[in-house]
């Protein structure tokens, strides 16, 4: 099967709607088919990968932990909007340390998360075969 470039655009936070967890499900499906997958986090989507989420008080699944598994599925291109972080009083230091092991570089552990400008995300988006918006 030909490999296509898929981008998943995450614009909403984790627990108020079902969009975030559904996006993650579909990302894992694409990974199972060995596609070239990128994730973008813009607007309230940046809250999906904030470090230190604890859902004990609301009785919902803390699926933020699943993001740590993405590296093992060779999903290691997570782009976070710098502007969206800034508007929300957040910085790269507030994000989960998501990593992957680079098979082309002696399995060195590297960060999967890149904070980039909206212009940069736009450029990456234009190179995709398919974009899904959640």
Partner 1 sequence: MLHTVNKSSFERNSLKSCINIIDDTSVILLIEDGVISATKNINSSMIANLANQGRVYALQGDVEARGISSKLVDNIKLVDYTGFVDLVVEHGTSVSWV
Applying CB under 8 A, the residues found at the interface with partner 1 are: 12-17, 43-44, 47, 50-58, 60, 62, 64, 87-90, 94
Q: State which residue, 57 or 119, has the beta carbon closest to partner 1.
A: 57
Please report how close the Cβ of residue 17 comes to partner 1 at its closest, in angstroms.
Answer: 8
What are the b/e assignments for 9-45, b being 16+ CB within 10 Å?
A: bbbbbbbeeebbbebbeebeebbeeebebbbbbbbbb
Please report how close the Cβ of residue 85 comes to partner 1 at its closest, in angstroms.
Answer: 10
Which residues 6+ apart lie within 8 Å of 107 measured at CB?
Answer: 101
Q: State which residue, 54 or 126, has the beta carbon closest to partner 1.
A: 54
Q: State which residue, 47 or 134, has the beta carbon closest to partner 1.
A: 47
Please report how close the Cβ of residue 55 comes to partner 1 at its closest, in angstroms.
Answer: 4
Q: State which residue, 12 or 77, has the beta carbon closest to partner 1.
A: 12
3-state secondary structure of 30: helix
Alpha-carbon distance 45 to 21, whole Å?
11
């Amino acid at each position: 099967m030909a490999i296509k470039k898929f981008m998943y655009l995450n614009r909403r936070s984790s627990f108020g709607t079902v969009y975030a967890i559904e996006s993650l499900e579909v990302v894992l499906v694409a990974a199972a088919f060995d596609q070239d997958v990128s994730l973008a986090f813009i607007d309230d989507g940046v809250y999906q990968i904030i470090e230190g989420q604890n859902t004990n008080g609301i009785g919902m699944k803390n699926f933020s932990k699943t993001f740590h598994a993405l590296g093992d599925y060779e999903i290691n291109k997570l782009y976070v909007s710098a502007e969206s972080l800034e508007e929300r009083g957040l910085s790269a230091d507030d994000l989960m340390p998501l990593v992957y092991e680079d098979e082309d570089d002696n399995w060195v552990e590297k960060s999967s998360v890149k904070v980039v400008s909206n212009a940069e995300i736009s450029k990456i988006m234009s190179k995709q075969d398919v974009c899904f918006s959640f």
